[in-house]
């Protein structure tokens, strides 16, 4: 299926263009169709799942007909579609819902993981350790058990035969600094190696902490790059921050993150050497766990 989030963004741009072509403000359009200004703004910012009946009233008010009407209605149908993640509601957390939505329509995903192991590769025990760390910072906006079930469901979807390619750069800092128990980290790394070794569509490159990255500034946070099979769906960069995920679709912004990713790949270890590197790190973590027991 196509990503409803991506189609909402395309629909938003189309509706904004249609309104501007009629020289209408959001207030004027809202009065014309007896809706609130905030609702029009949310539609034009891709923040609202469209109601098809209301959208058709809007198109009538804007005098949209023919092929353009057909195209916008098709976009709206895709944008209004519900995915498997909707059955989890808010229990899985808004941030994970965004990633599940984007993954549902992606053809390829690339990621730089500066602060965590990619969700596609996490074990249940590792997820539990992350939840404990998250709860240490205050109340969480998800239900841990349902969030875990949703994350494991994401993994099954991503690793299914029709899932996207997934290439990642994993920073050594994640292995050395993330405060999960050493035994849990060791098991997580071995699971990662097993999955990547068995699945040719998934590639990991380890970035040693002493790798020198040239040609530009250092990335300031983890990020994800999404490409979609429909050329009309723009590629996206999603940047992971402490409190939210920032979505970029402007060509210049996405290009900036693509450049970061390419520079990271050039200095990271090869996929084969990365698995060896992570295997040694797992052995070190196991030794550390043994010393602590």
Mean of pLDDT values over 245-255: 96
pLDDT tens per residue, range 126-185: 999 999 999 999 999 999 999 999 999 999 999 999 999 999 999 999 999 999 999 999
Could you confirm whether domain 4-80 is CATH 3.40.50.620?
no
Q: Would you place residue 256 in the very low, low, confident or very high pLDDT band (cuts 50, 70, 90)?
A: very high
pLDDT tens per residue, range 16-32: 999 999 999 999 999 99
What are the residue ranges spanned by the domains of the chain? 4-80, 85-292
Those residues whose C-beta lies under 8 Å from the C-beta of residue 55, and which sit 6 or more positions away, are 72, 73, 76
- Mean pLDDT across the chain: 96
Q: What is the pLDDT of residue 293?
A: 72
Instruction: Collapse the DSSP code of 124 into the 3-class scheme (helix H, G, I; strand E, B; otherwise coil) and give the result.
Output: helix
- Please state which architecture CATH assigns to domain 85-292: 2-Layer Sandwich (3.30)
Distance, in Å, from the CA atom of 291 to the CA atom of 77, rounded to the nearest integer, reads 58
Q: What is the pLDDT of residue 164?
A: 97
Q: Decide if 288 contacts 182 (C-beta within 8 A).
A: yes
């Amino acid at each position: 299926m196509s990503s409803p989030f991506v189609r909402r963004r395309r629909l938003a741009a189309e509706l904004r263009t249609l309104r501007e072509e009629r020289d209408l403000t959001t207030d004027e359009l809202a009065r014309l169709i007896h809706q609130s200004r905030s609702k029009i703004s949310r539609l034009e910012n891709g923040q609202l799942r469209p109601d098809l009946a209301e959208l058709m009233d809007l198109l009538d008010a804007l005098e949209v007909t023919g092929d353009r009407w057909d195209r916008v209605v098709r976009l709206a149908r895709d944008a209004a579609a519900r995915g498997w993640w909707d059955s989890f509601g808010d229990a899985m957390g808004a941030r994970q819902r965004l990633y599940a939505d984007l993954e549902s329509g992606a053809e390829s995903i690339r990621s730089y993981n500066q602060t965590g192991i990619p969700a596609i590769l996490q074990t249940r025990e590792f997820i539990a350790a992350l939840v404990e760390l998250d709860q240490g910072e205050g109340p969480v906006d998800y239900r841990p058990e349902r969030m875990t079930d949703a994350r494991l469901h994401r993994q099954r979807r991503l690793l299914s035969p029709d899932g996207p390619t997934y290439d990642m750069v994993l920073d050594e800092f994640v292995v050395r600094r993330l405060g999960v128990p050493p035994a849990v980290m060791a098991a997580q790394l071995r699971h990662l190696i097993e999955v990547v070794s068995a699945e040719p569509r998934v590639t990991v490159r380890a970035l040693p902490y002493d790798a020198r990255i040239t040609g530009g500034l250092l990335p300031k946070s983890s990020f994800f790059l999404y490409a979609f099979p429909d050329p009309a769906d723009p590629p996206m960069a999603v940047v992971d921050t402490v409190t939210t995920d920032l979505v970029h679709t402007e060509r210049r912004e996405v290009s900036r993150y693509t450049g970061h990713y390419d520079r990271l790949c050039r200095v990271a270890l090869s996929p084969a050497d990365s698995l060896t590197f992570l295997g040694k790190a797992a052995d070190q973590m196991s030794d550390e766990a043994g010393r602590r027991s």
